[in-house]
């Protein structure tokens, strides 16, 4: 639970940062157009904006990848394949770190959900068996009390 809370906090921090950077660059672009600039300044600002936002996007992707891989590794589940043909992994251009693509995230989340469903299936069947045994014992006790009284 603490891992999830820390992950959500870091993710929201990065998303706020992305929105802040986007707003700042949008103001700079509007100022460049208002100043009747030749367009080169606005294009340069757009390129800087793209570089900054793609850097934050890569950090978000790496954070999500690390979180999901840690969850899978705790349960000894296999990681998505590194085969190029499947397209589960990509590499950050700015950071040089590999991270899961949306297809890789989907595959890993599917594996985690299947594991959780298997675990909950075991506990549900165990619980239903225990409830059945308790019901049978209650009926037996009621029957014995009726014949004694």
The pTM of the whole model exceeds 0.85: no
The pLDDT, as a whole number, for residue 56 is 92
The pLDDT, as a whole number, for residue 149 is 62
Q: Phi and psi (nearest 5°) for 91?
A: -120, 135
Q: Which of 23-37, 73-87, 124-138 has the highest mean pLDDT?
A: 124-138
Enter the DSSP assignment of 98: E
Q: What is the mean pLDDT of residues 24-40?
A: 78
Q: Which of 3, 22, 17, 128 is nearest to 72 (CA)?
A: 3
The pLDDT, as a whole number, for residue 70 is 94
* Residue 39 clears pLDDT 70, i.e. is over it: no
Element (H, E) at 146: helix 102-148
Q: 103 near 88, Cβ under 8 Å?
A: yes
∠ Cα 127 128 133 (to 5°): 95
Task: Report the C-alpha gap between 108 and 86 in whole angstroms.
Answer: 13
Task: Report the C-alpha gap between 15 and 22 in whole angstroms.
Answer: 11
The pLDDT, as a whole number, for residue 85 is 67
The pLDDT, as a whole number, for residue 119 is 77
The pLDDT, as a whole number, for residue 37 is 64
Q: What is the mean pLDDT of residues 58-87?
A: 88
């Amino acid at each position: 639970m603490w891992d999830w809370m820390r992950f959500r906090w870091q993710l929201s921090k990065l998303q706020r940062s992305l929105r802040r950077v986007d707003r700042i660059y949008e103001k700079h672009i509007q100022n460049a157009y208002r100043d009747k600039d030749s367009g080169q300044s606005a294009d340069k600002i757009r390129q800087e904006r793209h570089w900054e936002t793609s850097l934050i996007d890569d950090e978000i992707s790496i954070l999500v990848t690390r979180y999901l891989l840690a969850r899978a590794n705790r349960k000894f589940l296999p990681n998505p394949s590194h085969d190029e043909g499947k397209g589960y992994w990509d590499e950050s251009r700015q950071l040089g770190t590999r991270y899961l693509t949306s297809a890789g995230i989907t595959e890993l989340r599917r594996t985690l959900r299947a594991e959780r469903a298997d675990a909950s299936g075991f506990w549900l069947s165990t619980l239903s068996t225990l409830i059945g045994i308790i019901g049978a014992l209650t009926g037996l006790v009621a029957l014995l009390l009726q014949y004694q009284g």
